Chain A
Amino acid sequence: MRAWRQEDAPRRRRSLGRLVWSLGRQLHHGGRVARALFSSQYALMLEYRAETALWALSGILPFIMLGIWSQLAVPPAGLGPGQGADAGGIGLDQVQLSRYFLCAFVARQFSVAWVVYAFEEDALQGRLSPYLLQPLQPLWRYVAAHLAEQVTRLPFVVLIAAVFFLLQPAALWIPTPGRLVATVLAIWLAFTINFLLQSCIAILCFWSERASALERLLFIPYLFLSGLVAPLEVFPPALRAAAHWTPFPYMVAFPAQLLAGEAVPIAASFAAMVGWISLLLPITLLLWRAGVRRYSAMGA
C-alpha cells in the first residue's frame, strides 16, 4: 500500500481537483477495508463470546485490591466517621476507593492487548506468510481483532459493573458528559500505547520464537506501576514521580481517575500519552521493517 502511494505522489500533485479526488478515493478504499476487517473480526469474536466473558472475569484483580485497601481506609475504633475519613492515611474514603477501583477495572478491560500471543501463534503456524502478501499492513488485522473484541466485551463489563453497584450502592455516580468523552479518548490512547508496546515485543518473534516470555516481564512493572493494585496516591511522592516517567500510570490510573471524577492534570496527561505514542509508533514501524526483511531472508 505504501509503495502504491509513493508512486502515485507525483501524479497527485498535478491539480487540486485530482488531489481531492485521489484522497477521497483512498479514504473510501480505506473505509471499505476497515469496515470489512472489523465486521469479519466481529463475527469471529461473537463465536467466542464465552471465552470473552471469562477474559473479562479474569480482570477482577482491582476488586480484590479494593477489598484490601478498603479495610485499610476503615478508621480505627474510637474515631468518629467525620474524623475517620482520612484516618487510614490513604487520602481516599470508601466511596472514592470503590469508584477508583471500578474505573481501573473498566480502563484495564478496554485497553487489554494480546498481540504478542496472536502474532506468535500466527508466526509459528505459518499463517503470517499469506498475510504478508496482502496489500495491507498485517498489524491492522490485529487492531481490528482487538476493537471487535472490545465490542463483544462491553456487555460483560456492563454486567460486572451492575453487580458491583448492587453490592456497593453508595458508590454509584454519574460521570459528567465531558469526563465521559475524555475517558473514552484516554482509554483509547491507553489501548494504543499498550498495543504498540506489545507489537514491539511481538515483532521480536522474527528473531526469537519465544517473545511471549518477554511480555511476561513487561507485565510486571505494568501491574505494579499502572495503578491496578494500588491508587497512585498511596505511593511516596518520589516513587510516584518515577512511575510517571514510565507509560504505565497513563494506561490505567489516569483513565480511571478521569472517569472517577478525581482531580487530575488532564492536559499534561494527554500530552504525555501522545508523546509516548509518537515515540513508540516509529519504533514499531522500524522494527517491523527490519523484522520482515529478516523473515524473508530466512526464506520461511
Chain B
Amino acid sequence: MAGLLRYWRTLKRFWGSALASQMEYQLNLLIEVLAMAGNLAGSLLLLWLIYGRGQQLGGWSLDAALVVLGIYTLLDGVSSTLLRPNLGAIVTQVQQGTLDFVLLKPIDSQFWLSTRTLSPWGLPEIVTGLALAIWAALRAGARPGAATILGGALMLLSSVVILYSLWFVLATTSIWFVKTWNVTEVLRAALSAGRYPISAYPAGLRTLFTVVLPVAFLTTVPAEAILGRASGMWLLLSVAVATASLLFSRWFWRLALRDYTSASS
C-alpha cells in the first residue's frame, strides 16, 4: 500500500510539472481546438454523405454511429494527452542513450516512461468526445441505468488499456530496431478504422479488426455498452483482452530490457 501511495505522489509531481511547463504554450490550445473542430466536422460530413442518402453503416442508426465517433474522439484525446507525449519519447531515449538514466531510477521503468509527462491540450477532445457519445446515446434511446453507466465506464477503461498496451509494445520494439520509430504511425493509421462501427466493414476486414488488431474493442464494444445493448460475453471478452494485453506489454518490456545494451555499445 505504501508503494502504491509513493507511485501516486510521483504521478502528481510528474503531471504538476508537465502542466506548469505546458502552460507556456497557450497558443497550442487554440490550434488543438481548431484541429478537433475540423476533424469532427470532416467526420460528420462523411456520416452525412452516407446517411443523407438513406444508407446505414452496418445497420447502425446515425445516432448510434455518432456514439462510436464520440468514443473515437475521446481516445484520440487520450492519445494526445498521455500516449503520444510519453510513448513517442521512448525512441528518443533509446537513440540518445538517456534510457540508461531512467533504468537507474528507483521506480518502475515502464511506469516512468508511460506517465512522465502530460499534455493538457488533448483534454478538450476528451471532454467533447465524451459529451458527444453521451448526447448521441441518449438520442438513440439509451436508458442511463446503473448497469449501463458501469458497463460503459468499464468498457472505456478497457479500450484505453488496450490502446495503451498496443502503443507501448510497438514503441518498445524501438529498443531492437531504432529505425522503425514510426511504426506507431502505422498503428494510428490502422486505428482510424475505429471511427466507424466494425459491422460497417466487409467480413474480412471485420475479422482483421477484431482478432488481429482489436479495433472493435476500442470503439465499437464501448459504444454498444453505452447504448445498453452489449452482451455479457463481449464485456467479459473485452476485459480479458485488456488484461491480457497489459500483461503482455509488461512481459514484452522486460524481454526488451534483457536485450538492451545502451546506445554506445
Task: Judge: A and B partners, yes or no.
Answer: yes
Q: Interface on A for B, CB 8 Å cutoff?
A: 48, 50-51, 54-55, 57-61, 64, 67-68, 70-72, 88-89, 167, 210, 213-214, 216-217, 220-221, 223-224, 229-230, 234-236
With A68-B201, A217-B34 as given contacts, are A51 and B49 in contact (CB-CB < 8 Å)? Answer: no
- Interface stretch, picked from B106-114, B124-132, B185-193, B249-257, is B185-193
Contact B189–A59 (Cβ < 8 Å): yes
Contact B189–A61 (Cβ < 8 Å): yes
With A50-B179, A58-B188 as given contacts, are A224 and B53 in contact (CB-CB < 8 Å)? Answer: no
What DSSP secondary structure best describes chain A's contact surface?
helix
Alpha-carbon gap, A271 to B36, bound state (A): 34
Contact B38–A88 (Cβ < 8 Å): no
Q: Please, what's the 1-or-0 string for B55-66, where 1 marks a CB less than 8 Å from any CB in chain A?
A: 101100000000
Contact B55–A88 (Cβ < 8 Å): yes
Task: Please give the distance in Å from B47's CB to the nearest CB on chain A.
Answer: 11
Please give, as numbers and ranges, the residues of chain A lying within 8 Å of B193 by CB-CB distance.
64, 67
Please give, as numbers and ranges, the residues of chain B lying within 8 Å of A61 by CB-CB distance.
189, 192
Please give, as numbers and ranges, the residues of chain A lying within 8 Å of B25 by CB-CB distance.
210
Please give, as numbers and ranges, the residues of chain B lying within 8 Å of A221 by CB-CB distance.
38, 42
Cβ-defined partner of A217 (8 Å) among B38, B49, B55, B180: B38
Please give, as numbers and ranges, the residues of chain B lying within 8 Å of A236 by CB-CB distance.
52
Q: Please, what's the 1-or-0 string for B2-25, where 1 marks a CB less than 8 Å from any CB in chain A?
A: 000000000000000000000001
Please give, as numbers and ranges, the residues of chain B lying within 8 Å of A72 by CB-CB distance.
50, 55
B35 at the interface (CB under 8 A from A): yes
- The contact sample of 14 A-B pairs, CB cut-off 8 A, is A51-B182, A55-B182, A55-B185, A57-B186, A64-B192, A88-B55, A89-B54, A213-B28, A216-B35, A217-B31, A220-B42, A230-B46, A230-B49, A234-B49
Please give, as numbers and ranges, the residues of chain A lying within 8 Å of B211 by CB-CB distance.
none
Alpha-carbon gap, A61 to B185, bound state (A): 12
Q: Indicate the size class of the contact surface on chain B.
A: 35 or more
Please give, as numbers and ranges, the residues of chain B lying within 8 Å of A213 by CB-CB distance.
28, 31
Contact A58–B39 (Cβ < 8 Å): no
Give 18 new A-B contacts, CB below 8 A, not counting A51-B179, A57-B186. A50-B180, A51-B180, A51-B181, A54-B183, A58-B185, A60-B190, A64-B190, A68-B57, A68-B200, A214-B31, A217-B31, A220-B42, A221-B42, A224-B45, A229-B42, A230-B46, A230-B49, A234-B49
Contact B35–A71 (Cβ < 8 Å): no
Q: Interface on B for A, CB 8 Å cutoff?
A: 25, 27-28, 31, 34-35, 38-39, 42, 45-46, 49-50, 52-55, 57-58, 177, 179-183, 185-186, 188-190, 192-193, 196, 200-202, 204-205
Contact B28–A71 (Cβ < 8 Å): no
Alpha-carbon gap, A47 to B55, bound state (A): 48
Closest CB pairs A-B (n = 9): A220-B38, A224-B42, A58-B185, A67-B201, A58-B189, A213-B31, A67-B205, A58-B186, A64-B193
Please give, as numbers and ranges, the residues of chain A lying within 8 Å of B39 by CB-CB distance.
220
* Closest A residue to B39 using CB positions: A220
Task: Please give the distance in Å from A83's CB to the nearest CB on chain B.
Answer: 17
Alpha-carbon gap, A131 to B169, bound state (A): 39
Task: Please give the distance in Å from B221's CB to the nearest CB on chain A.
Answer: 19
Please give, as numbers and ranges, the residues of chain A lying within 8 Å of B31 by CB-CB distance.
213-214, 216-217
Alpha-carbon gap, A213 to B31, bound state (A): 7
Please give, as numbers and ranges, the residues of chain B lying within 8 Å of A216 by CB-CB distance.
31, 35
With A51-B180, A54-B182 as given contacts, are A71 and B201 in contact (CB-CB < 8 Å)? Answer: yes
Please give, as numbers and ranges, the residues of chain B lying within 8 Å of A223 by CB-CB distance.
42
Alpha-carbon gap, A124 to B165, bound state (A): 33
Alpha-carbon gap, A58 to B55, bound state (A): 29
Alpha-carbon gap, A57 to B182, bound state (A): 10
